């Protein structure tokens, strides 16, 4: 497998993250948090069966399950944003929540962001449209919480790893990927 | 002999004073820069045997007089490092192989590739949105604090 030389990504570090990165991060978070929630419910059922012998069947329509799921999601996103400014999915995609001016976001902003996050889903997800059309790529929940999302991964190290692999395999970096061509023409920080 | 010296000494002194005065007058009238402009320095240097010249120089003695500490104090190491083409260094030296063997595996490679591609797609979509919106002024690329940090680098 040959990775593209992330020269373009190097120059983009600290810039506002775009829709694709943020959407993919959200999908990963949704899968991860739902998986953990399902595992937790299964664990509770198993423990209850061992202790009392009674079997618990969780129903997705059950209001208790819904309330637990919503509370868990709020905790998952709120805690992650408050503590580190990034969830698991955001860490995978290398994006991070910061204050609107670019400084590190305070924990309370992370909590507020998680609280108002569902608002962006209202009206057919119009709140997310800001990621595409707003000048600073901020969604509705970003505007309310005073936050923004930026690229924050070590693209420089990734580029060096890519060049090192290319040097070792003896191939020219320009042949590897369409991402590489104009990326190398871009000025690097 | 003594009489002869007595006669010649003042004459010699007079001649020397006259010569000095003449040289001063000539130099004051002469445009040295114009004169030097007419000299072919390259031709002059071509006639100099630099190797022979260097053989006569005791470089160790010269270097012993150099204060390396003071010299290094005047060098901006960060500026020097900024000029190093790390990409070329990695590509053309064994450093690349060392990095390749010591850092990451397939997972790291996949992660780097995924992140790079998502950044590329982000920028692709952003370009089309900017065109569709026909913005007169380009949107800021990063928050102010991060842009300032970028400028400082």
Using the CB atoms, write b or e for B88-100: b if 16+ within 10 Å: eebbeeebbeebb
Predicted confidence at residue A185, as pLDDT, reads: 33
B37 inside domain: yes
Q: What is the mean pLDDT of chain A?
A: 83
Domain definitions of chain A by residue range: 7-176
Flag if A150 and B104 touch (Cβ within 8 Å).
no
Predicted confidence at residue A37, as pLDDT, reads: 94
- d(CA A61, nearest CA chain B) in Å: 36
For residue A164, the chain B residues in CB contact (below 8 A) are 90, 95-100, 103
B99 inside domain: no
Chain A, 35 to 74: residues with Cβ < 8 Å from chain B are none
Query: pLDDT digits over B93-113, tens only?
Result: 666 666 666 666 778 888 888
Residues linked to residue A71 through DSSP beta bridges, in sequence order:
none
Contact with chain B for residue A90, Cβ under 8 A: no
For residue B151, the chain A residues in CB contact (below 8 A) are none
State the residue range of the domain holding B6.
1-66
Among B66, B91, B121, the domain boundary falls at B66
Flag if A102 and B145 touch (Cβ within 8 Å).
yes
Q: Are residues B2 and B61 in the same domain?
A: yes
Contact with chain A for residue B24, Cβ under 8 A: no
Do residues A13 and A189 lie in contact, with contact meaning Cβ atoms separated by under 8 Å?
yes
How far apart CA B9 and CA A70 sit, in angstroms, is 117
B73 inside domain: no
Q: What percent of chain A has pLDDT over 70?
A: 84
What pTM value is reported for the model? 0.64
Number of compact structural domains in chain B: 2
User: What is the band of B150 on the pLDDT scale with cuts at 50, 70, 90?
Assistant: low
Query: pLDDT digits over B13-60, tens only?
Result: 888 999 999 888 888 888 878 888 888 888 888 888 888 888 888 888
B85 inside domain: no
Dihedral class, residue A53 (left if φ above 0, else alpha if ψ from -120 to 50, else beta): left
B94 inside domain: no
Predicted confidence at residue B2, as pLDDT, reads: 56
What SS3 class is residue B107? helix
Sequence-distant (6+) residues with CB within 8 A of A37 are A68, A69, A72, A73
Dihedral sign, Cα of residue A38, residue A44, residue A45, residue A50: positive
B91 inside domain: no
Please check the confidence at residue A186 and state whether its pLDDT lies above 60: no
* CA-to-CA dists, residue A110 to A30, A84, A104, A127, angstroms: 17, 9, 11, 18
- Count A/B contacts: CB-CB distance under 8 Å: 152
* CA-to-CA dists, residue B116 to A20, A122, A131, angstroms: 11, 31, 19
Please check the confidence at residue A112 and state whether its pLDDT lies above 90: yes
Q: Tell me how long chain B is.
A: 153
Interface confidence (ipTM) of the complex: 0.76
Q: At what angle do helices B106-133 and A19-52 cross, to 10 degrees?
A: 130
How far apart CA B16 and CA B11 sit, in angstroms, is 9
Predicted confidence at residue B149, as pLDDT, reads: 60
* Closest by Cβ to A20, choosing from B95, B121, B147: B121
Please state which of the ranges A87-101, A131-145, A174-188, B90-104 shows the lowest mean pLDDT.
Answer: A174-188
């Amino acid at each position: 497998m040959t990775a593209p030389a992330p020269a373009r990504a190097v120059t983009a570090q600290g810039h506002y993250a775009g829709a694709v990165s943020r959407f993919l991060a959200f999908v990963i978070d949704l899968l991860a948090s739902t998986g953990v929630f399902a595992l937790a419910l299964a664990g509770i059922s198993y423990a209850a069966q061992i202790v009392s012998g009674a079997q618990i069947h969780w129903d997705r329509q059950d209001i208790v399950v819904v309330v637990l799921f919503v509370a868990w999601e709020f905790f998952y996103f709120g805690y992650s944003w408050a503590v580190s400014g990034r969830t698991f999915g955001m860490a995978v995609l290398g994006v991070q929540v910061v204050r609107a001016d670019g400084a590190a976001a305070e924990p309370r902003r992370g909590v507020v962001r998680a609280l108002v996050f569902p608002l962006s889903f209202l009206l057919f997800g119009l709140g997310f449209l800001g990621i595409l059309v707003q000048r600073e790529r901020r969604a509705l929940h970003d505007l309310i919480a005073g936050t923004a999302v930026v690229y924050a991964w070590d693209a420089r190290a990734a580029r060096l790893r890519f060049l090192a692999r290319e040097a070792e395999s003896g191939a020219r970096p320009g042949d590897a990927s369409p991402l590489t061509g104009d990326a190398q023409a871009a000025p690097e920080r | 002999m003594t009489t002869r010296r007595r006669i010649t000494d003042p004459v010699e002194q007079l001649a020397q004073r006259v010569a000095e005065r003449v040289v001063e007058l000539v130099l004051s009238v002469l445009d040295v820069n114009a004169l030097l402009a007419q000299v072919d320095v390259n031709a002059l240097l071509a006639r100099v045997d630099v190797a022979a010249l260097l053989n006569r120089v005791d470089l160790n003695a010269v270097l012993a007089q150099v204060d390396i500490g003071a010299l290094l104090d005047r060098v901006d190491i960060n500026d020097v490092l900024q000029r190093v083409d790390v990409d070329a260094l990695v590509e053309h030296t064994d450093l690349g192989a060392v990095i390749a063997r010591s850092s990451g595996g397939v997972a790291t490679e996949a992660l780097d590739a995924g992140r790079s591609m998502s950044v590329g797609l982000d920028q692709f979509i952003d370009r089309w949105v900017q065109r569709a919106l026909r913005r007169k002024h380009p949107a800021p690329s990063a928050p102010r604090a991060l842009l300032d940090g970028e400028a400082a680098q």
